[in-house]
Amino acid sequence: MTKFSIARIYRRWIAIVLAILVTVSLSACSPENFKSQAAQVPQIVFSILSDPKTFNAILSAESPNVFGLIYEGLITENPITGQKEGALAESWQVSEDKLKFVFTLRKGLKWSDGQPLTADDVIFTYNDLILNKDIPNNLRDSLRIGLSQAFPKIQKLDDRRIEFTLPEPFSPFLDAVGLPILPAQILRKTIETKGADGKLKFLSTWGVDTPPDKIIVNGAYKLKNYSTSQRVIFERNPNYWKKDEQGNNLPHIERVIWAIVESQDTALLQFRSGNLDSLGVSPEFFSLLKREEKRGDFTIYNGGPAYGSQYVFFNLNKGKRNGKPLVNPVKSRWFNNVKFRQAVARAINRQQMINNIYRGLGAPQNSLISIQSPFYNQSLKGYDYNPEQAKQVLQEAGFKYNNQGQLLDSEGNRVRFTLITNSGNKSREAMASQIKNDLSKIGIQVDSTPIDFGVLVDKLSNTLDWDFCLLGFTGGNEPHAPNIWFPDGNLHSFNQKNQPGQKPIEGWEVAEWEEKIAQLAIAGARELDLEKRKAIYTEIQKLELEYLPFIHLVEPLSLGAVRNRFEGIEFSALGGAFWNIDELKISEK
């Protein structure tokens, strides 16, 4: 599941993508051939765990994805300074009452096919795509404002100026205008016609079977080639707007290659042999790579705790489809018992995760807000590992133990459920294995099943047939997460409401604490004073800890190994090593 908060500045996908990309091998993609080509064409080679799911930026629900390289929004965020900077927009003005924002596009912007990029494309992207109720997407929630959940009014002032009018002050607004801008002249016809299934043609436009030269973009790179289960190749976009201080067109690096192979172990071998240009350093590889830093002519960067969060969560949905409960009613009673969730939280040994899985290169986390965010409350105390106390809490909640130490509910049902997580992520699979072992110590049987990420996303957002899940969200400094906290949000996965086009759910309920968090999230977004905002998000974090819609685990350090041949690397946990890939150069040595 993406970034998972999708309301974040969209160009940051470059950082998120490239921090994750370098976790797999090039063995299926002739790395020696890539290496020989590098001497002729300035290029950089990464790898990814699985194939892209779509080339349609509006419909994307995954991370990593291609869009950080091929699209930009109006503005972006500098991960080093934390300041908002112009991207497609050269400037913006804000009214005194903070309700009107006018963005001025740069002169001479062009799409990759050479056609002009104007205010019409911005208006089309927001009004006709993102805010279109017939196009399910994870971006729309970031634009819902206030108690009314109204959207801003967006209008064209002229070919270069766009005005956003807000219904009330909205503190995270600038984080919502970094979303990718798509070409109106190419895509407008896809929202004006429907397919045989009665759905807009846009919903089936720009899938991964689309020829790359048909994908029109505005970012530093454009798609050149995609070979299923092998590689994605990007080439320099000659119509990209950005230039260096000498007036030379950017990017400097001509080509970016993503290899698609499903092995982190092989990735290590390929990096050590020089066939990968960078590697996300997992804890089990850190000591080995640190010893080889000088000989391998690379640098391991440490950005501190990674942005984002990792957690487990139960399916709290009490609804039915066609009269059939989404969750087994017996299990649903367990999952919706807050004491049961609190007992599970006490039974998970997070320090053991840090020591064994992350080799000490991690930190415990207690909320959805990223540890390095100014809104993360360091003083809030999570659940210490205490299996005996967990057993006591369960017994107080009406559970009991048989003579074999197995946990039973008040009706004598054995407490057993399935934990799902995405396959291919070794650390996450190891965490799932430990959780299974930890919960067995309090009499709970967990069946751990790593599954393909696409299948997992379908379960969480569509079929809703799952028990217990281990996942993570991509984070940032801004804490506003409407997709997650709004009960009808696209990523409210612990109690997901059916989304447009899906089968209806009967009997779907929202808990009182769930609604309270949603209202606090609205209040936090309305508040413009930083300290008052912090106080509101502290209340959200307290409720999160009490009711545990997510049981937070640990966050690894942000570590990346990068070849020393790249000039201009500025590493940070928020941006990784390649957030400024358009400005990087390859040294001549």
d(CA 408, CA 464): 25
What SS3 string covers 513-573? HHHHHHHHHHHHHHCCCHHHHHHHHHHHHHHHHHHCCCEECEEEEEEEEEECCEECCCCEC
**Nearest CA among 223, 283, 305 for reference residue 257:** 223
Q: Which residue has the tokens 């612990």?
A: 494
Question: What is Dmax (Cα atoms) for the chain?
Answer: 78
- Write the DSSP symbol of residue 174: G
Angle at 494 between CA 481 and CA 208, to 5 degrees: 70
Per-residue pLDDT of the chain (589 residues; tens, 9 = 90+): 433 333 343 444 334 334 434 333 333 344 445 554 444 689 999 878 778 999 999 999 777 789 999 999 999 999 998 899 999 999 999 999 999 999 999 999 999 999 999 999 999 999 999 999 999 888 898 898 887 889 999 999 999 999 999 999 999 999 889 999 999 999 999 999 998 888 999 999 999 999 999 999 999 999 999 999 889 999 999 999 999 989 999 999 999 999 887 777 888 888 899 888 998 898 889 999 999 999 999 999 999 999 989 999 999 999 999 999 999 999 999 999 999 999 999 999 999 999 999 999 999 999 999 999 999 999 988 999 999 999 999 999 999 999 999 999 999 999 999 999 998 788 899 999 999 999 999 999 999 989 988 899 899 999 999 999 999 888 889 999 888 999 988 889 999 998 777 889 999 999 999 999 999 999 999 999 999 999 999 999 999 999 999 999 999 999 999 999 999 999 999 989 999 999 999 986 6
Tell me the CATH number for domain 309-556: 3.10.105.10
C-alpha gyration radius of the chain: 24
Give the CA distances from residue 172 to residues 21, 162, 434, 479, in Å, rounded to whole numbers and listed in that order: 28, 18, 37, 9
Per-residue pLDDT, 17: 39
Per-residue pLDDT, 176: 84
Tokens representing residue 491 in the block: 């990523």
Q: What is the DSSP string of 461-512?
A: III---SEEEEEE---S----HHHHSTT-TT-GGGPPPPTTSPP-BS----H
Per-residue pLDDT, 224: 97
| Residue 199 CB-half CA count within 13 A | 12
Distance of CA 563 to the CA centre of its chain: 26
Cis peptide before 152 (omega within 30 of 0): no
Per-residue pLDDT, 589: 60
Pick the CATH number of 10-72+190-305+558-586 from 3.40.190.10, 3.40.50.850, 3.40.50.720, 3.40.50.2020: 3.40.190.10
- The answer to whether residues 441 and 387 touch, using CB atoms and an 8 Å cutoff, is yes
Burial of 264 (0-12, 13-18, 19+ CB in 10 A): buried
Q: Does residue 177 come out as left (phi exceeding 0), alpha (psi in the -120 to 50 range) or beta?
A: alpha
d(CA 104, CA 117): 12
Contacts within 8 Å (CB) and 24+ apart, 403-409: 405/443, 406/443, 406/445, 407/442, 407/443, 407/444, 409/330, 409/333, 409/334
Q: Which residue has the tokens 């819609």?
A: 549
**Nearest CA among 26, 584, 562 for reference residue 296:** 562
- Count of residues in the chain: 589
Show me where the domains of the chain are located.
Answer: 10-72+190-305+558-586, 75-184, 309-556
Tell me: domain 75-184, CATH 3.40.50.300, correct?
no
- 3-state class (DSSP) for residue 232: strand
Per DSSP, helices labelled H in 161-213 are 184-187
- Write the DSSP symbol of residue 17: H
Per-residue pLDDT, 16: 35
